[in-house]
Amino acid sequence: MKVTNNTSFVVIAFGYRRPQGSGPDVEISPGETKDVNGPYLGEMDGEACHVAILGEVICQEDPDDDSNGYQIGLGNPICLFDDDRGVTIRHHEDPTEPEVLEWRNSFQA
């Protein structure tokens, strides 16, 4: 998913898909647009393969506006999903969600 940050602060975004879990955190500075993917699936033709999250979202500090974007702020993350996949975007000072930490920790040896 393409995520555009039209706020005055850094946001952190990650994609997820059930049952695989979440992808890596992507730091997006004000004015930047970055691709946010889901979890790592493996290698394909020598390249890392991740779950694709389709669509685009714009983050803003103003209230939600269908034509301009979704409001985000400290303690007010954006969670968009469709069936078994989605994206979460949060203020950089918000802590990582407990279920995400639990899933990530389950893969550490």
**What pLDDT is recorded for position 107?**
57
The yes-or-no verdict on residue 109 having pLDDT over 50 is: no
Mean pLDDT for all residues in the chain: 88
- Angstrom distances, CA of residue 27 to CA of 9, 24, 33, 60, 90: 11, 10, 10, 15, 10
Highest mean pLDDT among 55-59, 80-84, 98-102: 55-59
For the entire predicted model, the pTM comes to 0.85
Q: pLDDT confidence of 11, banded at 50, 70, 90?
A: very high
pLDDT digits (tens, 9 = 90+) for 30-71: 999 999 998 888 888 888 888 888 899 999 999 998 778 999
The yes-or-no verdict on residue 108 having pLDDT over 60 is: no
Tokens 């034509």 map to which residue? 67
Note down the domain range covering 78. 2-105
Q: What tokens appear for 3 in the block?
A: 């995520």
Tokens 């040896």 map to which residue? 109
Q: How many domains does the chain have?
A: 1
Percent of the chain with pLDDT over 90: 50
Q: pLDDT confidence of 5, banded at 50, 70, 90?
A: very high
The yes-or-no verdict on residue 15 having pLDDT over 50 is: yes
- Evaluate whether 58 touches 87 at the Cβ level (below 8 Å): no
